[in-house]
Amino acid sequence: MGIERFNGLSEDDAATALRACVRIDSWVAALLASRPYDDAHHLLATARAHAARWTPDEVDAALADHPRIGERPTSNGTTADHSRREQAGVDAADQALADRLADGNRRYEERFDRIYLVRAKGRSGEEMLDLLEQRLGNDDATEREVTRQQLAEIALLRLADFLDLEIDPEIDPEPTTTGGLP
């Protein structure tokens, strides 16, 4: 969808599209209030700036929409569809990896009292497991910030997909058009 079409959506339809990226009402409201956008890059920059302000409570609430790494969502809808595609790097047939991810998820939840969240898009199951092991060594404040950053990457990638843009979260360049924009 191009930026003109996004700008032209009703408030309800635009809010629904943004909530499919992340369920943080302050972020959705801020992005809606800034319409119309000059271009998709402006929307993504605004989204990135507002994601940097998410509170720990907002991040914790948003985590409820995310399945554990290595588990497939049981619900249907746009958010679940995103999760299924994003976790495509986890080989469902690799039982040893699934067991290690399940054990890591359990240890993470015991340590931090929340699910392990990592941007899965573009990462293999082994990479996500390695990151989980590394992050288990973080203190709580550091891990809260890493989790916020990962949630922001996920939201921005979903927003870019919605806008038919491609971004590389590893280096965070300006997004490039893949179609749908003038």
CATH of the domain at 23: 1.10.3330.10
Domain around 68: 3-162
Q: Note if the pTM is more than 0.95.
A: no
Asked whether residue 75 is domain-assigned, the answer is yes
CA distances from 12 to 28, 64, 74, 128 (A): 11, 22, 26, 35
Name the helix (H) or strand (E) containing 134.
Answer: helix 125-135
pLDDT (tens digit, 0 to 9) for every residue of the chain, 182 residues total?
A: 789 999 999 999 999 999 999 999 999 999 999 999 999 989 999 999 999 999 999 999 999 878 887 766 555 544 544 544 455 456 667 789 989 999 999 999 999 999 999 998 888 889 999 999 999 999 999 999 999 999 999 999 999 999 988 776 554 434 333 333 22
Asked whether residue 182 is domain-assigned, the answer is no
Asked whether residue 169 is domain-assigned, the answer is no
Domain count across the chain: 1
Asked whether residue 178 is domain-assigned, the answer is no
pLDDT for position 52: 95
